Structure 1
Amino acid sequence: MAPDQDIVIVGGGHNGLVAAAYLARAGRRVTVLERLDHVGGAAVSAHAFDGVDARLSRYSYLVSLLPRRIIEDLGARFRLARRRYSSYTPDPANRGASGLLIGPRNTFAAVGAGDDEARFNEFYRRARLVTGALWPTLMAPLTTRNTIHNRVLAAGDPAAGAAWQALIETPIGHSVAEAVRSDLVRGVMATDALIGTFAATDDPSLTQNICMLYHLLGGGTGDWDVPVGGMGAVTGALSAAACGFGAEIVTGAEVYAISPDGDVSYRTRGGDHTIHGRHVLAGVTPAVLARLLGEPEPDIAPGAQIKVNLVLKRLPRLRDQWVGPEQAFAGTFHINETLRQLDTAYADAASGSIPDPLPCEVYCHSLTDPSILSEPLRRSGAHTLTVFGLHTPHHLLADLDPDTARIKLAAAALHSLNSVLAEPIQDVVLQDPDGRPCVEAKTTTDLENALGMTAGNIFHGALSWPFAEDDEELDTPARRWGVATDHEAIMLCGSGARRGGAVSGIGGHNAAMAVLES
């Protein structure tokens, strides 16, 4: 007979660790089963290059949606640092000879968009009327659409209705085009609707609007912070919290079957095992869960991104003489992301071609948090860089072997970056002790193969609105908390849960709360 536990958690990603910590803190017997030899899932740090002492956030990179309350509830010990600038966008019309810097110093006039600065600020002021009302609800049972709408309107701001319409009812491409006039400024705004989501900005399904909303929700303001020590510091602290409360974490445990009543079969080096949980929390994708249950797999929206990690000898020179690299790379560095370029890239990818130029975003973790570099690397002027390419959907890789896919997509991303730099990025890439360039690419295929993310989707599938529809049945704890499956004993606790996307821990928290109410 299978040994009993109160809760078995399948998958030791950050959400699974959050759920484990909350439930163990409440006195429940919890076992976490993780297929890999370490916990953390996509939120890990790694020495990606032999002999180079730099700890890169290998997959996920920044934190916006992780509530302070989770950190405080669990006593998780890590720090988040605020970036000095929001973003820099070289103007592709003049190959980056000027650009838009947003932060302590704004340069809207440098790209011919001086009149848009006030409109830009007003758009985000209005957006906060919606996100400020939504944010407090994410760690509570689902609120209905109408209730949230009324809460937004109740603030009494004359612009509240228009703000709701722009974010929730109208394709975001139309909303940003109405808000500002510059194609470049429109692109800076619209890109948050597309990261990890394959859609046109005017898609009537509004899937891009949901993605935009999640990017603006964190803290009610949408600030994106850098985890000091890298992403591994976040999941290391969550793992320590879970173990400190008494949860058992088993790594190298490959789950190969789950029964609807809670039996979980898994394999370790010591052989096959079965454990029974009164509740099973699934941190895997809904498609993987269906496979483990022996049920038909649901269609999963494909991932659509390429991530290229680099270590540089120094930051590259810009063509823009008025903005320094330390400013430009201190926030999000947008490349070839005007609204027209974003929509053209989507059309190219939808027709089966890698976009040229590829819309990209660049992050320099080490400018905000140099602790991820060894002291000798810091003294040498080295920096890490992450290039995140959009509109590279999983289907583009269908006929390519993994190595060819990495080479082609990484080349497209670096080519796009070079189009706005004063020197090729390859000229400043650090080499490891064996003379190999410190360049690592991760495609949607890599995410699927290494992390079990179906079709490479970083959200485990299409995101859902973070509220319930007015006619939705919320008659069980699992449904009220947005973690229900077709089986009473099994709940979602990962990014596939309602309100579970991104590095937030909200999916894990809400699954734990549903268990405690059951």
Structure 2
Amino acid sequence: MASERDILIVGGGHNGLVCAAYLAKAGLKVTVLERRHVVGGAAVTEEFHPGFRNSVASYTVSLLNPKVIADLELHRHGLKIVERKVSNFLPVPGGYLATGEGRTKSEVAKFSQKDADRLDAYGDRLEAIADVLRDLVLQTPPNLVEGGLAQAIPELLKSASLGRKLSHLDMTAKRDLLALFAQSAGDWLDGWFESDPIKAVYGFDGVVGNYASPYTPGSAYVLLHHVFGEVNGKKGAWGHAIGGMGAITQAMAACCRERGVEIRTDVAVAEILVEKGRAVGVVTEKGETLRGRAVVSNLNPKLLFGKLVDRSFQPADFAERIDRYRSGSGTFRMNVALSKLPDFTCLPGPGDHLTAGIIIAPSLAYMEQAYADARAHGWSKAPIVEMLIPSTLDDSLAPPGQHVASLFCQHVSPTLSGGRSWDDHREEVADLMIATVDAQAPGFAASVVGRQVLSPLDLERTFGLSGGDIMHGNLSLDQMFSARPVLGAGDYRTPIAGLYQCGAGTHPGGGVTGAPGHNAAREIIKDARRGRLRAA
């Protein structure tokens, strides 16, 4: 007999909503529980200064999976995505580099004709790997299991299928794949290019959400992770959701409601209820008990198993591995209200470059020093700042003639040493970030009429991003694919029967993709059809 609720989803971020939409379409009764007053997790749009709205945490569109967009009919539910007119804009001493369709080669040639001549080969080689891995994004990883042949055969078949996909790569691509998984972004790019600007633009993707030097082994994969995306069918493009990132999750919520999902906000979960070794519901912070046939977590695995699941229900080695799960991306996030557009010394006046991702980090060496400073001091003396000005593409975000900007700032330490708290240093570091932009665009600081500042601690408190980690855990080789978050729990199931995960702490990881939610729903639906979801 079915219970009143089949599925309880803890956390109404975008993956939780995606999972709910697929489960509801399959005929399951789903309730989403969100701690905040609005669903969307880190992908929300809010007013942060009177008359100024912005994407508060996540800030740009590229990785949102096309299948998720189509299956949830997000465009019918109001989502509109527009492409940046310039992909990236990088001020450098004595000039700038602007990348984008039809212009990258001539821009790179300003610094190195040799590098310009290598761009096509670089793009083709990277895309060959990205195409194969893009296909794996919506696959459930083979899960390392204990038990007999009956348990192992399905996972062996998955492994064989994966092997067939990778076998289609030629030897050049296989060698590139090995390098990208093992090397640093810096080593990978140094092997391709000689000029600092193009290495800085591409290398920035290797440290986004990754508290590491661009020369840290494994950071090349983080670079590759950001190549998977597309906007409106154009691979590798970056875009903006009209109305901000909240427009994505509001469209998802509309789809959920249309399919009969119950969405409850201002409901903080205090405990996953486990009886006889099985998750059967949740207890809220207000003391309400809600029961269901299964519970699905959209939270960071450290938060789920560290705070909501009693340790006595977790296998000892599993709990120990979760304790060691590395989470903390060194992110400092700001939203600023501007009285006018910034005016860059290297390219004065308005223009399409102001629609780009504006990267203030002119070289890999600059990024490496920023990481070293953060490790030693807590934050970079010369930080990495990516600035977007979404109001150049979307006039709904600010009053006429004024603008909003997103500042995605790195590197800062997820936690400060010596007993220091981010609460005591938040504004000091925010001033440094503003000054870093002002050095490239004099007058920027004076144009700031309001700001919202989110340190790693604030990101954790507000959005549940442990250590400010936008990826819900490092994208390192030991925390990817079948090992995300832990070997033996890589198929969205957990060691506790009836408890699943659907967040970015599962394959394929972070970014506003919807893929973990899509994949988790498929596994839950399989279990429901096989009778593995018992009545609560």
- TM-score past 0.5 threshold: yes
Native 8 Å contact 1:349 1:396 kept in 2: no
Please name the residue that 1:137 is paired with. Answer: 136
Question: By how many angstroms is 1:178 displaced?
Answer: 0.8
- 3-state DSSP of counterpart to 1:357: strand
Residue 440 of structure 1, aligned match among 452, 464, 478: 452
Q: Which amino acid aligns with 1:366?
A: S
Answer yes or no: is the 8 Å Cα contact 1:196–1:304 preserved in 2: yes
Please tell me whether residue 266 in structure 1 is matched to residue 278 in structure 2: no
Q: 1:335 aligns with which of 351, 360, 363?
A: 360
| Corresponding residue of 2:124 | 125
SS in 1 for 2:43: coil
Shift of residue 496 of structure 1?
Answer: 1.0
Q: Would you say the 8 A contact 2:343–2:444 is kept in 1? A: no
- One-letter identity of the residue aligned with 2:91: P
Deviations 1:10-44 (A, max 9, x none): 01111111111111111101111111121111110
Q: Which residue of 2 aligns with 1:66?
A: 64
Q: Is the 8 A contact 2:87 2:356 kept in 1?
A: yes
3-state SS of paired residue (1:195): coil
Aligned residue for 1:356, secondary structure, equals strand
Alignment of 1:104-183 (within 5 A): 104-106=102-104, 108=107, 112-142=111-141, 151=165, 154=168, 156=170, 159-183=172-196
Q: Quick one: which amino acid aligns to residue 46 of structure 2?
A: A
Aligned to 2:298: 283
Tell me how far apart the structure 2 counterparts of residues 281 and 118 of structure 1 sit (CA, whole Å).
Answer: 49
User: Contact 1:305–1:391 (CA<8 Å) still a contact in 2?
Assistant: yes
Given residue 161 of structure 1, which amino acid in structure 2 is its aligned partner? K
Q: Paired residue for 1:224? A: 238
Q: List per-residue Cα deviations over 1:239-266 (Å, max 9, x = no partner).
A: 1111111111111111111134223333
AA paired with 1:213?
A: L
Quote the residue 1:257 is aligned against: 271
Q: Specify which of 498, 510, 515 is matched with residue 506 of structure 1.
A: 515
Partner of 1:433: none
| Distance change (3 Å), C-alpha of 1:279 and 1:81 | same
CA distance in 1: counterparts of 2:419 and 2:487, whole angstroms? 42
Number of aligned pairs?
485
Is this contact kept in 1: 2:415–2:457, CA < 8 A? no
Where does residue 313 of structure 1 map in the other structure? 339
User: Which of residues 376, 392, 400 in structure 2 aligns to 1:351?
Assistant: 376
In structure 2, the CA distance between the partners of 1:383 and 1:426, relative to structure 1 (3 Å rule), is same
What CA deviation, in whole Å up to 9, does each residue of 1:215-253 have, x standing for no partner? Answer: 111249332221111111111111111111111111111
Amino acid at match of 1:116: D
**Whole-Å Cα distance in 1 between the matches of residues 369 and 159 of structure 2?**
33
| Counterpart residue number, 1:29 | 29
CA shift, 1:153, in A, is 5.7
Q: Does structure 1 residue 516 correspond to structure 2 residue 531?
A: no
Going from structure 1 to structure 2, the CA distance change for 1:316 and 1:345 (only over 3 Å counts) comes to same
Partner of 1:413: 433
Deviation, 1:159, is 4.1
Q: Normalized against structure 2, the TM-score is what?
A: 0.84
CA 1:186–1:426 in 2, change beyond 3 Å: closer, same or farther?
same
Map 1:11-30 → 2, pairs under 5 A: 11-30=11-30
User: What's the secondary structure of 2:229's corresponding residue?
Assistant: helix
Show CA shifts across 1:388-441 (max 9, x none): 1111121237744444332122122122212222x1311222xxxxxxx31111
CA apart distance, 1:137: 2.3
CA distance in 1, matches of 2:450, 2:109: 34
Q: Is the 8 A contact 1:397 1:405 kept in 2?
A: no
1:370/1:26 CA distance change after superposition, 3 Å: same
SS at match of 1:439: strand
Shift of the 140–336 alpha-carbon distance from structure 1 to 2, 3 Å rule, reads closer
Instruction: Give distance in 2, aligned partners of 1:319 and 1:335.
Output: 13
Amino acid at match of 2:502: C
Structure-2 residue corresponding to 1:240? 254
Cα deviations by residue, 1:262-316 (Å, 9 ceiling, x for unpaired): 2333337xx5221222221101111111111122562432121111111212212
Give, in angstroms, the shift of residue 210 of structure 1: 3.1
Contact 1:127 1:167 in 2 (8 A): no
Question: 1:132·1:221 contact (CA, 8 Å) conserved in 2?
Answer: no
- Is the 8 Å Cα contact of residues 11 and 32 (structure 1) preserved in structure 2? yes
> Which SS does the other structure have where 2:333 is aligned?
strand
Q: Show the counterpart of 1:213.
A: 224
Conserved in 2, the CA contact under 8 Å of 1:153 and 1:160? Answer: no
Shift of 1:324: 4.6
CA contact (8 A) 2:89 2:97 kept: yes
Q: Deviations over 1:57-76 (max 9, x none)?
A: 00001122211211221222
Maintained 8 Å contact 2:35/2:266: yes
- How far apart, in 1, do the equivalents of 2:451 and 2:487 lie? 49
Q: 2:329 aligned with 1:303, yes or no?
A: yes
Distance 2:418 2:162 in 1: 41
**Structure 1, residues 329-374: CA drift from partner, whole Å, max 9, x if none?**
211111124110111111121223422211111111112222333x
| Change beyond 3 A, Cα 1:217–1:146 | farther
CA drift of 1:5 comes to 1.9
Q: In structure 2, do the counterparts of structure 1 residues 324 and 398 end up closer, same or farther at CA, with 3 Å as the change threshold?
A: farther
Partner AA of 2:96 in structure 1: G
Residues 438-462 of structure 1 show CA distances to partners (whole Å, capped at 9, x for unaligned) of: 1111111111111122111111112
SS of residue in 2 equivalent to 1:196: coil
Question: Which residue type is aligned with residue 8 of structure 2?
Answer: V
1:293 alignment counterpart: 309
State the Cα distance separating 1:111 from its structure 2 match: 5.3
Structure 1 unaligned runs (5+)? 430-436
The Cα of 1:515 is off from its aligned counterpart by 0.4
- The superposition leaves residues 375-397 of structure 1 with CA deviations (integer Å, 9 ceiling, x where unpaired) of xx23x2x2211111111121237
| Distance (Å, rounded) in 2 between the aligned partners of 1:98 and 1:145 | 49
Match of 2:215 in 1: 202
- SS at the partner of 1:189? helix
